[in-house]
Structure 1
Amino acid sequence: MKKNMGNADRIIRVIIAAIIAALYYTNVITGTLGIVLLVLAGVFVLTSLISFCPLYAPFGIKTCPMKKG
């Protein structure tokens, strides 16, 4: 797996995941929607940690800077 996520993308995903988690644990979002969003937040954190988004690969999207070579 080659990295396809830049630092800005990773930071934004972690911030969104933290917001979703805070909203879930303060009972602002509940029920099935809350669980689905919490799972999505977990996916955001996981993809941020490994710097790879599987949905970017088929479309050739890369948010990481290109290396000069």
Structure 2
Amino acid sequence: MTTNMGTIDRTLRLIVAAALFYVALVSQSLGDGGVYWVSIAIATIFAVTALVGTCPLYSLLGIKTSRTV
């Protein structure tokens, strides 16, 4: 699998994932289950794609933010 995400893109995704995990924790303490599960799902997708370096949606759309060939 080739990487199609650059360093800045991956870093921003990890930051957004961390923020969404925080939102999930806060919403769980407030008792809002819907926000909790949506936040966890999106945060997990962002974290996994950032760690792997490949975004399936980027592949479908032909987007590449990495500088490698």
TM-score band (shorter)?
0.7 to 0.9
Kept in 1, the 8 Å contact 2:16–2:43? The answer is yes
Query: Structure 1 residues 38, 29: closer, same or farther in 2, change over 3 A?
Result: farther
CA contact (8 A) 1:9 1:63 kept: yes
* Distance of 1:65 and 1:2 partners within structure 2: 12
Partner of 1:19: 19
- After TM superposition, which residue ranges in structure 1, 4 or more long, deviate above 6 angstroms? none
Paired residues, what number?
Answer: 67
Query: Contact 1:24 / 1:30 at 8 angstroms: preserved in 2?
Result: no
> Structure 2 stretches of 5 or more lacking a match?
none
Distance 1:19 1:29 in 2: 18
Q: Kindly indicate whether residue 47 of structure 2 is the aligned counterpart of residue 45 of structure 1.
A: yes
For residue 56 of structure 2, what is the aligned residue in structure 1?
54
Which has more helix, going by share of residues? Answer: 2
Q: Which amino acid aligns with 2:65?
A: T
Q: TM-score, normalised on structure 1?
A: 0.84
Q: Secondary structure of 1:55's partner?
A: helix
Percent identity reads 36
RMSD: 1.7
